Structure 1
Amino acid sequence: MDLKDLRSEIDVIDKHIVELYEKRMEVASQVADYKISVGKKVFDKQREDEKLKAVKALAHSDFNRIGVEELFSQLMSMSRKLQYQKLSEKGASGNLPFIQKDSIDKKNSRVCFQGAAGSYSEEAMKKFFGEDVNSTAVETFRDAMALLEEGSVDYAVLPIENSTAGIVSEIYDLLSEYEHYIVGEQIIEIKHCLLGVPGAKLEDIKTVYAHPQALMQSAKFLSENGNIQQIGMKNNAFAAKKVADEKDKTQAAIAGAGAAGVYGLEVIKEGINQADSNSTRFIIVTNQKVFLKDAKKISICLEIPHEAGSLYHIMSHFIYNNLNMTKIESRPIEDRNWEYRFFIDFDGNLGDSAVKNALRGLREEAKTLRILGNY
């Protein structure tokens, strides 16, 4: 047989495969009807494991056994997606335990932020809630979460990601630890300045204080301007306050220009971060399970079985429900070596049927799932 004949034979086989696939999905639809009628879960891992073992045994080589396992894993995954859709059509998608709100009462809210006056966190808070917001500054991110937990504040403003330095890993860990929820976000352009006491010049500076991320973002400038000692601080505003309090011309802080006015410092050099475009994304967190009716982004965290293909199958729920996943991060799970918790952002609203359908599938197939917020 020549290549043309071989391809024609493959075309005939593929036609039969499509016919058999559609027949299989028709039966899967009937299975869904039965499960709905008796209240049985869609995902039956024991049954699927037995099925994979059986079909692999039908293959005649190691290569084909691997292929058959992957093929049937996908077939069963697609069958589950169909069954989840049928559950939604029958009104069995379930109600998510979140209350929809029209808006946030920004005027009468009590808000905390980590840092001090003049920090980027304060700037983000005021941009989101307004200049007259009733606010409290705390020393650590955990302090902010604790205030929320005890009800002393209604919202906390926390940095979660920088466009050049990446994620703030502590925030991800705290989101998985506390039962708090994201209801908004605010992006702030970061323009680091070198601040010193009045009269200080660049050549005077021997020591610079700043948050480690600010030091990292300004590394090129610092390396090009002498042997400057770099010391990390919990917050850039704390660094500015330290320089102002100690009144030493050899010390400087990296912070925003606003901090100079707050602490009576002078801007020695503007825009010392090497990236021309540098922004930090802040999240607005509350202890209430609420979301705004016009929310467009959902954040979740989940744990999956520690086995081959788990993440691949989890991702398919976004594909089959036509949901755009915008971000995925992983963090190690404490006391469980080489196991990870995944944080995922995707477009959608908790009121959307496609979102409900995807979340139902994720909840059944992941070991744990938490909705971190819709905002």
Structure 2
Amino acid sequence: MKTLDLQEIREKLDRIDREIVSLFEERMKVVGDVAEFKITTGKQVYDGKREQQKIEDVTGMVEDSFRKQAVRELFTQMMTISRRQQYRLLAEHGLTVKNDFQPVKSLPMDQVRVVYQGVEGAYTHEAALQYFGTAGEIYHVQSWEDVMKAVAEGEADYGVLPIENSSAGAVIDNYDLLIKYQNYIVAETFLTVNHALLGLPGASTENIKTVFSHPQALMQCSEYLNSNRQWKQISLENTAVAAKKVVEEGDLSQAAVASEIAGRIYGLKVLKSSINHNKNNTTRFIILSRNPVYREDAQKVSISFELPHKSGTLYNMLSNFIYNGVNMRMIESRPIPGRNWEYRFFVDIEGNLSDCAVQNALKGISEEGLNMRVLGNY
């Protein structure tokens, strides 16, 4: 039996690899011809049925089950790369994602009306003051949806909503509101959240039986609160509302989890400061407008799109970012009401709507996914 020589084997592999690269380049030239045809006819790049038929054809050329799967993965990748090239060529002909966004040098800030949910002393109130200062009139409404309505109907120029917290994660109800209303994210601000246990003057931790707060605040302070098992925890719509409730009911056995600022506003005593277990607890707030504008120096794009619950669909979407060199910052999913096992994804990426790479990635997602929306560039 002839002894195998590793160098000879490697030389054979090198020859085969050169042939593969040559054939790949030939294939990509033909893909360019396909793109030119689609530019001329207006045909979409993504053809799911054609790709599925191609996969079945090439996997049928091999017998071994391992190699069948390997061929499937290889051609799936090649077709993904082919689509990326077609999107790039379409973009060169001006066929990008259509949107109404307009770049501006800065956001209008003079004499604006700004709406937030809750009451004075709420963290969202602090976030509004942090971003807008004294530049406009800041007022509050009862619910997060009321904020979205006020912006959508023109009663307010901007709305402020919490969207995620470093300890408790996404504020999922507000993601749903981003879909329900045609408002746009134009900015964001980050607020360090430091919760305190607040009680009436004369109260002490030994008296407490009931603690009120927003559910996320209760979650962020769970280690401390759960160590007092005799305390009943009750969720309310807002931390400052909880503080106000304790004052209004005048019961020494009640306490609220809220900011020390809220405590000063409502005349409550700090029973225990800094009770959140994550001392770097930060909430990200988004600034919303009904106008689709973005600052020229914006560096983050938020989008949403829908996907059926099928193998590989999310990978196909995210590959649009990978092959265009676009960095993804965040991904969140929500079930689509009335459609079992189908999901809507929310993604934040780095970039600007004027960037070619971003436009190419969004073009791919708009064709391969369902109901893609650009939620904002900020």
TM-score, structure 2 normalization: 0.95
86, 91, 96: which is aligned to 1:88?
Answer: 91
Give the structure 2 partner of residue 56 of structure 1.
59
Give the structure 2 partner of residue 248 of structure 1.
251
Q: How many correspondences in the alignment?
A: 375
Shift of 1:260: 1.1
349, 354, 371: which is aligned to 1:351?
Answer: 354
Give the structure 1 partner of residue 146 of structure 2.
143
Q: Is the 8 A contact 2:308 2:343 kept in 1?
A: no
Distance in 1 (CA, whole Å) between partners of 2:82 and 2:209 is: 66
3-state DSSP of counterpart to 1:203: coil
Distance in 2 (CA, whole Å) between partners of 1:149 and 1:212 is: 27
Q: Is the 8 A contact 2:317 2:369 kept in 1?
A: yes
3-state DSSP of counterpart to 1:318: helix
3-state DSSP of counterpart to 2:357: helix
Distance in 2 (CA, whole Å) between partners of 1:186 and 1:57 is: 54
Q: Is 1:2 aligned to residue 4 of structure 2? A: yes
360, 372, 377: which is aligned to 1:369?
Answer: 372
3-state DSSP of counterpart to 1:284: strand
3-state DSSP of counterpart to 2:206: helix
**Deviates most, 39-48 or 78-87:** 39-48
Instruction: Give the CA RMSD over aligned residues.
Output: 1.6
Give the structure 2 partner of residue 230 of structure 1.
233
Shift of 1:337: 1.3
Give the 5 Å matches for 1:1-375.
1-2=3-4, 4=6, 5-93=8-96, 95-131=98-134, 133-225=136-228, 227-375=230-378
Q: Which amino acid in the other structure matches residue 117 of structure 2?
A: Q
Q: Is the 8 A contact 1:115 1:137 kept in 2?
A: yes
Shift of 1:132: 5.3
Distance in 1 (CA, whole Å) between partners of 2:76 and 2:202 is: 70
Distance in 2 (CA, whole Å) between partners of 1:245 and 1:22 is: 75
Deviations 1:84-115 (A, max 9, x none): 11122233335532122222222321111111
Q: Which amino acid in the other structure matches residue 154 of structure 1?
A: D
Distance in 2 (CA, whole Å) between partners of 1:313 and 1:353 is: 20
Deviations 1:285-342 (A, max 9, x none): 1222111111110000101243221111111110111110011111111111111111
Distance in 2 (CA, whole Å) between partners of 1:209 and 1:96 is: 44
Q: Which amino acid in the other structure matches residue 368 of structure 1?
A: N
Shift of 1:33: 2.4
Distance in 1 (CA, whole Å) between partners of 2:311 and 2:96 is: 28
Q: Which amino acid in the other structure matches residue 111 of structure 2?
A: N
Q: Is the 8 A contact 1:297 1:346 kept in 2?
A: yes
**Is there any run of 5+ residues in structure 2 with no aligned partner, and where?**
none
Q: Which amino acid in the other structure matches residue 352 of structure 1?
A: D
Q: 1:192 to 1:94 in 2, by over 3 A?
A: closer
**Is there any run of 5+ residues in structure 1 with no aligned partner, and where?**
none
Shift of 1:61: 2.5
